[in-house]
Structure 1
Amino acid sequence: MSHVHSINDIRTAIRELSARADLARKEGRLDDAAELEKRIQGYREELAARP
């Protein structure tokens, strides 16, 4: 069973993960940045599926 996140939790996660992905790119950790972007995309999809 999947955990349901609140809209605020999703937005907060996207914001925080985006900042971490930006830092990873600046530091040259492209694999880490790509993984974070995948997680961000999952949260965006979850947010888009909301009514």
Structure 2
Amino acid sequence: MEVPLWLALLVVGYLGIKLFRPPAWLIALLLLGGFLLADSTIAPAINDLMK
């Protein structure tokens, strides 16, 4: 069974928010941090680690 990545992330994110109830500022900080890391100079290194 193949599941699209965006759907898997959506389900994990939804369950994480419902089960752990993190504060909104933490969610915003993690999203902003991920966005900024994706545009940084270490993004290729992170990409290589994920493969």
* Length-normalised TM-score, structure 2: 0.41
Structure scoring higher RCO (CA < 8 A, sep ≥ 6) equals 1
